[in-house]
Amino acid sequence: MTTNTLRSLSGSLSRAGTTATKTRISVSVRRRNATTATQTNPAASVEPPPAGGHLPSIAQSTFLKQTRDQALKTVGIKWADTELDEARGHQSSALGSGRETRKMNTYQAIRDALSIALATDDSAIVFGEDVAFGGVFRCTLGLAEEYGRERVFNTPLTEQGVVGFGIGYASMGMDGRTGKGGTAIAEIQFADYIWPAFDQLMNEASKFRYRSGGNFDVGGLTVRCPTMAVGHGGLYHSQSPEGFFLGMSGIKVVIPRSPLQAKGLLLASIRDPNPVVFMEPKVLYRSAVEQVPTSDYVLPLSSAETLVSGSDLTVVTYGTSVYRCEQAMHLLNNPPEKGAVGSNIRDAVKDWANHPAIKSNGKGKSPSIELIDLRTILPYDLPSVLQSVQRTGRLLVVHEGPVTGGVGMQLAGEIGKRAFLNLDAPVKVVGGWDTPGVALQYEKFYIPDEIRILDAMLEVLAY
């Protein structure tokens, strides 16, 4: 699928896309050298790919809701007006009949969530670098015009300042009746630039409630940041830093996989009584398009979702890697006729079917894989993963972030501890290599792609 077809998928945004591309280039120029001018070459006739990149395979994903009906039946969806109805003692239409959906890409869905947050909560503010004109990834498009510059505004270039400001804002009881703190929705332009704010998150936000014995909290703080690789981000526009947050008790970390998920999980994060770091896989901003309910809803935090049920291998992943795992499963079930990939798969499946243990188990002829989207990284849904691995006996964890100190090793440790006797194979983790970052020209060999995931699946199955 070409860039142009994908762009047309995102509807009327091709014009906005062009502007955005130019701006984003200037942003990265400024990042490298703050003093050089932000010129772009007007002579360039071929439009560069958007900074968010594209992942063509996403368009075919069966995980994206293509119809209104599918979207409204999303597992775990909770409608805000239903809650209101229930609070008022009315009978509610729980199934969501009569609700509207609209085709949205991820940045539109995030923008929709932010708009709902601003509309339903007077204390809510949205701020960060370049937020007022719409954000370098367009997630705040038109919000400043709609809700005013007092509530949607630019900040100077200071990540520690942005998060510190948000903490201060969220620490104040702004609602006279409930004492609820202010809702501060901060944007860090790239997850790669969250490090100056790490002190504010680690030493301040995560400890705010604990250190004050519950006197103060910053539950109203949500820090959004684009994350993961896009094909051309290099060392400083590709990082997946979620592993560093695993030891940050008091904070929640959430990573959505799609527009519908992003909207519901972001609204849940904004309204959660804890500070949340919300990482948005930036290749999905444009590439992932699906039907998204237009009304106000949330999806549960700390709750993994089983996307495909299976009996022989549990694959746990999140964010962009969800689609690569889907592709790998597709390859496994449809091995290419020719070449090493196909013959490897066919051999592995044959071995699997002939394995005495498998035969005696009465399992199927080809391995069946269970795919789980972890969604919340901290505190993660260990019970769901454990329950699955106890059934399948095998676990593979896939993410872009480096293996050492990452989510995969965390899960491997917990599962090894709790499901030792259920395991038929060692837990396998496929992640980014332990290089100091995502090297620009080498990205294809850094990010776990379909073939690496497939190979890992075969390895774990063959054990």
Partner 1 sequence: MFRRASRSLRTPFLHPRASFATRALGRLPNSQSPIVSQPHFFNSVTGSNEQIPAFRLLDGTGVPIEGADLPEIDEAFARKLYENMQLLPNLDNILYNVQRQGKISFYMTAYGEEATIVGSAAALEDNDEVLGQYREMGVLLWRGFGLDNVMAQCFGNHEDTSGKGRQMPVHFGSPKHHFHTISSPLATQIPQAAGVAYALRRTPDRSNSVAACFFGEGAASEGDFHAGLLLASTIPSPVVFIARNNGFAISTPSSEQYYGDGIASRGPGYGIDTIRVDGNDVLAVLTAVREARARSLDQGRAVLVECMSYRVGHHSTSDDSFAYRARSEVDDRKRIDNPLVRFRLYMESRGWWNAEAEEELKSRLKADVLKAFKHAETQSRCELSELFTDIYGGEEPWNIKEQREDLARLLKKYGEDWEPWRVELQKFKNKGQELSTK
Is there binding between residue 123 and partner 1 (CB under 8 A)?
A: yes
Q: Which stretch binds partner 1 (CB under 8 A): 51-59, 245-253, 305-313, 397-405?
A: 245-253
Options 53, 166, 243, 256; binder of partner 1; rule CB under 8 A: 166
Structure tokens at 166: 């948000």
Cβ-Cβ contacts under 8 Å for 176 (sequence gap 6 or more): none
Minimal distance, residue 117 CB to partner 1, in Å: 15
Whether 146 sits among the annotated catalytic residues: the reply is no
Options 203, 333, 334, 435; binder of partner 1; rule CB under 8 A: 203
Q: What are the DSSP calls for 24-50, one per residue?
A: HHHHHHHHH-TTS-----TT--SPPPP
Structure tokens at 32: 């490298």
Separation of alpha carbons 457 and 449, rounded Å: 12
Q: Which stretch binds partner 1 (CB under 8 A): 7-15, 22-30, 199-207, 421-429?
A: 199-207
Closer of 6 and 197 to partner 1 (Cβ) = 197
Respond yes or no on whether the N-terminal peptide bond of residue 379 is cis (omega within 30° of 0): yes
Could you tell me how many residues of this chain bind partner 1 (CB under 8 A)? 51
Closer of 98 and 214 to partner 1 (Cβ) = 214
Is there binding between residue 272 and partner 1 (CB under 8 A)?
A: yes
Closer of 165 and 352 to partner 1 (Cβ) = 165
Is there binding between residue 207 and partner 1 (CB under 8 A)?
A: yes
Is there binding between residue 274 and partner 1 (CB under 8 A)?
A: yes
Q: CB 15: neighbour CB atoms within 10 A?
A: 8
Cα dihedral across residues 61, 67, 70, 73: positive or negative: positive
- Start-to-end CA distance of the chain, whole Å, equals 37
Residue position matching structure tokens 């990482």: 279
Q: Of residues 54, 129, 159, 326, which has the active-site annotation?
A: 159
Is there binding between residue 169 and partner 1 (CB under 8 A)?
A: yes
- Contacts with partner 1 in 49-108 (CB under 8 A)? none
Is there binding between residue 387 and partner 1 (CB under 8 A)?
A: no
Minimal distance, residue 171 CB to partner 1, in Å: 7
Q: What Rg do the C-alpha atoms of the chain give, in angstroms?
A: 22
Q: How far is CA 376 from CA 329, 428, 441, in A?
A: 23, 20, 31
Minimal distance, residue 219 CB to partner 1, in Å: 5
Q: Which stretch binds partner 1 (CB under 8 A): 55-63, 91-99, 249-257, 338-346?
A: 249-257
- Beta bridge partners of residue 306, listed in sequence order: 372
Closer of 99 and 418 to partner 1 (Cβ) = 418
Options 48, 56, 273, 416; binder of partner 1; rule CB under 8 A: 273
Q: What are the DSSP calls for 54-109, one per residue?
A: --GGGGG-TTS--SHHHHHT-TT-EEHHHHHHHHTT----TT-TT--EEEEEHHHH
Cβ-Cβ contacts under 8 Å for 383 (sequence gap 6 or more): none
Is there binding between residue 38 and partner 1 (CB under 8 A)?
A: no
Whether 159 sits among the annotated catalytic residues: the reply is yes
Q: Of residues 54, 129, 187, 237, which has the active-site annotation?
A: 237
**Strands of the 276-281 sheet, one edge to the other:** 152-154, 125-128, 184-187, 221-227, 276-281, 252-254, 376-378
Question: Can you give the binding site for partner 1, defined by CB under 8 A?
Answer: 123, 125, 150, 153, 155-156, 158, 160-161, 163-174, 176, 182, 184, 196, 199-200, 203-204, 207-217, 219, 249-250, 252, 272-274, 302, 379, 382-383
Residues taking part in catalysis: 159, 237
